[in-house]
Chains A and B, each alone.
Chain A
């Protein structure tokens, strides 16, 4: 290895952090024997240290760390047993509500009869949305998987209203909605409401 080749190798040498790299050993050995090369290596090391010190002196804006911690989303690992429990809770809750309403149907007419509407919004996985407020592109993968596995899907409009999405009686729409998870779509369907809960029975979906 001549001096020029040794310099080519040692140009990347950063000191102790690279000591374990075998590719520098021969060039370092040569620098121990060649005073001129050793001097060049010292200059390189000084340059490296000076630039590193300058760059490491740059400080982030004040309060950035606190802002990151404050805006931390609630961690939500894909724990399918927990998701199943949440889905079961939603279904049981909806069933109880439906039964209670059925029993009191004679006395109270709280169901708003179906009317055809056109709504635009984001396709949600209701389990994660209600439990952990997860939605948007960052949550698309999880939402797609949840809906694909049969968990309830919803639609959140621009003004924050959320619809439970269903197919025609006896038909599931989860396979179709899973592909649209976290995407903005326009849905034509029949809206029904009960006790503040809104359901949209899908007739047609348009992807925007």
Chain B
């Protein structure tokens, strides 16, 4: 197969972020890798249909999210932590709470939050997307996205507060 520098460049730029987004949605490394591959496969076949080349990033994330929703319809849903109205309490949480846990723990805690809230929260943290772009990726209204991120963020911080610190590795 002849090389395609443009395609390879797109892979190099976005595959890590797409994988992380996929991992936050599925909680499975294998599923996240599959979703990332599938997204680029679809891009290779249909990417030429994109009218605005500036929107490649949004297109890739939207496609990965749609692929995830297709998979989710076929699978049993996990039970997630509900986000109740009490979560509106803006408690004071220090960055030390976050620094005492590792990345895997943050991901696991994130996985306890319902997908409708987890997806925008992940895009909020790892992608440099505006709120409008996040709303477009997830095809939900801007106000809904902001409300979900706010509530999910409080829930995440509350869950992290309850999480036990990672013990120091023995030498």
Which of B7, B20, B101, B156 sits near A69, CB closer than 8 Å? B7
A160 CB–B CB distance under 8 Å: no
- Contact: B122 with A55, CB < 8 Å? yes
Are B92's CB and A55's CB within 8 A? no
Given contacts A12-B149, A55-B122, A75-B44, contact A64 B128 (CB under 8 A): no
Verify A47–B19 contact, CB threshold 8 A: no
> Do A60 and B45 have beta carbons less than 8 Å apart?
no
Name which of A3-11, A113-121, A143-151, A175-183 contacts chain B: A3-11
Residue from A43, A59, A64, A74 in contact with B92 in the complex, judged by beta carbons closer than 8 Å: A43
Q: A14 vs B15: C-alpha distance in the bound complex, in angstroms? A: 23
Minimal beta-carbon separation of A4 from chain B (angstroms): 7
Pick from B34-42, B51-59, B71-79 the stretch touching chain A.
B34-42
A72–B128 touching, CB < 8 Å: no
B19 near A60 with CB under 8 A, answer yes
Known: A8-B150, A48-B125, A64-B36. A55 touches B20 (CB 8 A): yes
Q: Is the CB of B149 within 8 A of A74?
A: no
Check if A71 sits within 8 Å of B37, measured CB to CB: yes
Q: Which of B37, B92, B103 contacts A68 (CB 8 A)?
A: B37
Q: Are A4 and B98 in touch, CB under 8 angstroms?
A: no
Contact B103 A58 (CB under 8 A): yes
A101 to B156, CA, bound (A): 74
Q: Which residue of B lies closest to A139 (CB)?
A: B45
CB distance from B136 to the nearest CB of A (A): 15
User: In the complex, what residues of A have CB within 8 A of residue B119's CB?
Assistant: none
A68 / chain B contacts, CB cutoff of 8 Å: 11, 15, 36-37, 40
**Cβ of B33 < 8 Å from any Cβ of A?**
yes
Interface residues in B1-42 by Cβ distance below 8 A to A read 1, 4, 7-8, 11-12, 15-16, 19-20, 23-24, 29, 32-33, 36-37, 40-42
Determine if A76 is an interface residue (Cβ-Cβ < 8 Å): yes
* Interface contact B19-A21, CB-CB below 8 Å: no
Determine the chain B residues whose CB is within 8 A of the CB of A77 once the complex forms: 48
Instruction: Say yes or no for B130: interface residue by CB 8 A criterion.
Output: yes
Interface pair A57/B37, CB less than 8 Å apart:
no
Note all chain B residues with C-beta closer than 8 A to A43.
92-95
Q: Could you list which residues of chain B lie within 8 angstroms of chain A, going by C-beta atoms?
A: 1, 4, 7-8, 11-12, 15-16, 19-20, 23-24, 29, 32-33, 36-37, 40-42, 44-45, 47-48, 90, 92-95, 97-99, 101-103, 106-107, 122, 124-126, 128, 130-131, 146, 149-150, 153-154, 156-157
- Closest CB pairs A-B (n = 6): A46-B95, A50-B98, A60-B19, A54-B103, A77-B48, A54-B106
